[in-house]
Amino acid sequence: MEQTSWNISLNTSSGFTLGDTGKIDVGASTSIPVSLEPAETVDLDLQLADAGKLSVLGIRSSLYDGKVEVTSNGNTYKLTGPLLLFGDLITRFSSDLSTLSLENTDAGKTVELKILIGRMLV
């Protein structure tokens, strides 16, 4: 068993803020770096058919203008900020993470992504 710590902070130019920190127990963590060349698509074979066994899913990108698309189980999401999901919200994102498709639709910029998955070992 290991712990995954998280820290999030949102700040607006008008002074509104929202922040929190916490920890979640996971059986194991996996970190996946992905580099996408301009107009490139990569299919990751995650072999996580039961997303209900995941505790945390995070995706960070070097580009948040909607030109990076994440597709899983037939649903496509454009990244306009980092993705951070816990528990049941992961299955609402996708009930089956066997394959995660990442697409860089930008014709001129390379994108660096990092995916963090925390799962139970049951």
State the average pLDDT over residues 58-79. Answer: 95
Does 36 map to a domain? yes
Helix H or strand E encompassing 3 = strand 2-11
pLDDT tens string 88-121: 999 999 989 999 999 999 999 999 999 999 998 7
Note the Cα 5 to chain centre separation in Å. 15
Does 11 map to a domain? no
Does 53 map to a domain? yes
Does 8 map to a domain? no
Cβ–Cβ under 8 Å, residues 70 and 100: yes
The pLDDT value recorded for residue 120 is 87
The pLDDT value recorded for residue 122 is 65
Does 22 map to a domain? no
Give how many domains the chain has, as a whole number.
Answer: 1
Does 39 map to a domain? yes
The pLDDT value recorded for residue 11 is 95
pLDDT tens string 1-35: 888 999 999 999 999 999 999 999 999 999 999 99
- Host domain of residue 67: 30-119
CATH of the domain at 50: 2.60.120
| Closest C-alpha to 91, from 44, 55, 47, 61 | 55
Does 80 map to a domain? yes
- At residue 53, does pLDDT exceed 70? yes
Does 92 map to a domain? yes
